[in-house]
Structure 1
Amino acid sequence: MEKKVSMKDIAREVGVSTALVSFVLNGKEKEKRVGAEVAAMILKVAADLHYKPNQIARSLRKGSTMTIGMIVADIANPFFCQMARVVEDEANKSGYTVIFGSSDESSVKSSALIDTLMNRQVDGFIIVPAEGAEEQIRNLLQQKIPVVLVDRYFPGISTSYVVLDNYRASYEAVSHLISKGYKRIAMLAYRSSLIHMKERVSGYVDRMKEQHLDAYITVKEIRYSHLQQDIGNAMHDLAVKNKKADAVLFATNALSIAGLYYMIKNGIKVPDDLAVLSFDASESFDFFYAPVTYVEQPVEELAKESVKVLVDLMHGSDKTTLVKLKHQLVKQKSCG
């Protein structure tokens, strides 16, 4: 096994003290008034010997590992995948490396991921919190660990967050369907106490009531762990058995993809039999025979803002930053 090169080896080769080598390799040559020629020689020898610094020791000296922990609901979901990509790029600009994990909407898995990342001594967290994870977030805040919530937040916890204005997005999505002549508008949403899902449902319900369409308000709750089964039952009731709906608002892209699959299998035509509007983009929407109208979240802005807020916190800011971003409605053929 090849011997690891140390600062002592470099000092011996150059003919200077180990302390002098340390000053140069840690960027303190000007502060310690090390001559330019000597500094250049130390750097050249370090490169020639393929010197690699001990990152653990460096972290202990600096009190920072220059790493960020990011926990998302599901890294396979295009929404979170794109968000993670932008977070990584933005964090790198500030010198940070990002370690990722997926909670799969499980507070148990989320807790285990937080413990693992804490053991890795990350400097801060960007978290898409799972349902029931309130105590985990409180514990991080009590330990003075910088944390930013993204996509959803807990109203009872004072912490920085970057989210979509979900109520407004849902309200305007329903307005679009109404403007197209639809009245029997149903909504499919996850069964959840998380604020983003509750706000999406509230926006739908309030807009329907404003238009005196109370009789047609139908919210089908889908269990995350029984997605296909619950979607099938809901769609059968809405579009086959009782034909309660002439339009459906899906609260996420995963729900809409499962719903569209059911419609294709059962010969339900979009938008002739049932209009469709979804939250979040999906590449598959554009390939569907009736490209899907959807609420586009500003994923890049969500990611960039969350990194910006977290970096400020890690650099000593004690400000609680609350960011709500606007959506765009991408109008295609699934609503007629």
Structure 2
Amino acid sequence: MMRAGARVTLKTIAESLGVSVKTVSRALAGKDSVGEELRARIRAEADRLGYVPNSMARSLVSGAAMTVGMVITHPANPFYASLISAVEERCRANGYSLLLMVTEEDLETEREAAEALLRWGVDGAVATPVQQGAEHWQRLRDSGVPIVLVNRGLEGFDSDFVGVDHERGTYEAVSHLLGTGATSIHLLEEDVPFSSAADRRAGFHRALTEHNIAVQDDTVTLVPPSTDERRALPWDPAAAYRCAQQLVSRLEPGAAVVTGSDYFALGLYRALAEKGIDVPAHVSVIGHGDLPFAAYLQPTLASVRPPADEIGARAAELLLERIQGSTAPPATIYLPPELKIRASAGGDRNEPRGK
């Protein structure tokens, strides 16, 4: 009789059926050397006993850890939360566990994460880099671990990449505002050295240039990162509010502001309300991220929605192909965001929430 709480092993199943451990192992692995009838009996007994495969033992036999590492910057950011869920879902469907590590935009923490993934022998990695060096990622890849970068690339590191077309998203936001008759456009953006912020600024400049509008020195307002001992949050609404207090004094009726984050739009909304400036009657606003609260603000906030779920799914699929031996040239995939027009940028003030 099996002791209560004891782990069910291949030996447990073998003793229950009066067959060898090797036969049970072959049957559960789907080997042709075991007949269909016996295989069915073994699988049924495994189910009855509650057998769970030992992943560590399986990895020692197969040479695969059946684990994917994921290194991100800010788990509190809803974009990364959706990204994690999409990657985990694809990995789990293919028999892989997900090992999550967080850097909080710290280079040394990122190096430690890459070294840990190397020690643990993961089969592959999905990473959002801090963009301050590629040596540790190169070392991981040289060890045979395929890497897919998401949201941010790495100069000099030729790897699969899946990210948001930030340049296009901001370009379309500015073009929409100009099309609704905005007399001047401002950008409230992160003051960080990341490609995502740089791409949004590029889209802003391209849209104005194509409409023959000069970019003045005070057209772009940069929000400094808010840091404390625990984390660095470049999308802090309090920091955006302080910057917006100075910005709103320069906004004439008919102006519009594009923000690099919906969190920045929160700070901007407060600064505008304190000055009695109506949105959108006097100033239009478009955020970035389309976070859950955007559709519940008053007025509802127009926003650029990044396809986080699709990015995660595509990144996981690329990585699984690499793990399975794909030697195709590295892919670079930019997925277009969706511009969600709501009341703050000319949409219907009476539209249903959540649209």
For Structure 1 versus Structure 2, the TM-score category normalised by the shorter chain is 0.7 to 0.9
Deviates more, 1:99-108 or 1:191-200: 99-108
Which secondary structure does the structure 2 equivalent of 1:167 belong to? Answer: helix
Say if 1:149 and 1:161, in contact at 8 Å, map to a contact too.
yes
How far 1:72 sits from its partner (Å)? 2.7
- Choose from 319, 322, 331 the match for 1:321: 331
Structure 2 distance, partners of 1:95, 1:317, is: 18
Q: Structure 1 172/4 Cα, relative in aligned 2: closer, same or farther at 3 Å?
A: closer
Q: Which residue of 2 is the match for residue 332 of structure 1?
A: 342
Structure 1 distance, partners of 2:35, 2:308, is: 48
- Choose from 9, 24, 27 the match for 2:27: 24
Q: Structure 1 53/209 Cα, relative in aligned 2: closer, same or farther at 3 Å?
A: closer
Structure 2 distance, partners of 1:49, 1:328, is: 50
- 1:246-325 to structure 2, matched below 5 A, reads 246-264=255-273, 267-319=276-328, 320-325=330-335
List alignment gaps of at least 5 residues for structure 1.
none
Structure 1 distance, partners of 2:293, 2:128, is: 24
Which secondary structure does the structure 2 equivalent of 1:214 belong to? Answer: coil
What are the Cα deviations for residues 22-45 of structure 1, in whole angstroms up to 9, with x where unaligned? 2123222x1x2x233433343344
How far 1:161 sits from its partner (Å)? 0.6
Say if 2:91 and 2:97, in contact at 8 Å, map to a contact too.
yes
How far 1:273 sits from its partner (Å)? 3.8
Say if 2:190 and 2:223, in contact at 8 Å, map to a contact too.
yes
How far 1:265 sits from its partner (Å)? 5.2
Structure 2 distance, partners of 1:229, 1:292, is: 18
Task: Calculate percent identity across the aligned residue pairs.
Answer: 27
- 1:42-81 to structure 2, matched below 5 A, reads 42-81=42-81
How far 1:84 sits from its partner (Å)? 1.9
Structure 2 distance, partners of 1:136, 1:255, is: 33
Normalised by the length of structure 2, the TM-score is 0.83
Q: Which residue of 1 is the match for residue 223 of structure 2?
A: 222
How far 1:332 sits from its partner (Å)? 1.5
- 1:1-336 to structure 2, matched below 5 A, reads 2-28=5-31, 30=32, 32=33, 34-216=34-216, 218-226=219-227, 227-228=236-237, 230-240=239-249, 242-243=250-251, 246-264=255-273, 267-319=276-328, 320-336=330-346
How far 1:19 sits from its partner (Å)? 2.0
Deviates more, 1:147-156 or 1:226-235: 226-235
Which amino acid is the alignment partner of residue 241 of structure 2? G
Say if 1:296 and 1:329, in contact at 8 Å, map to a contact too.
yes
Say if 1:154 and 1:194, in contact at 8 Å, map to a contact too.
no
Which amino acid is the alignment partner of residue 18 of structure 2? G
What are the Cα deviations for residues 150-206 of structure 1, in whole angstroms up to 9, with x where unaligned? 122124321111112222222221111112222331112222222221111011123
The count of residues paired between Structure 1 and Structure 2 equals: 332
List alignment gaps of at least 5 residues for structure 2.
228-235, 347-355
Normalised by the length of structure 1, the TM-score is 0.88
Structure 2 distance, partners of 1:134, 1:192, is: 18
Say if 2:131 and 2:152, in contact at 8 Å, map to a contact too.
no
How far 1:228 sits from its partner (Å)? 4.7
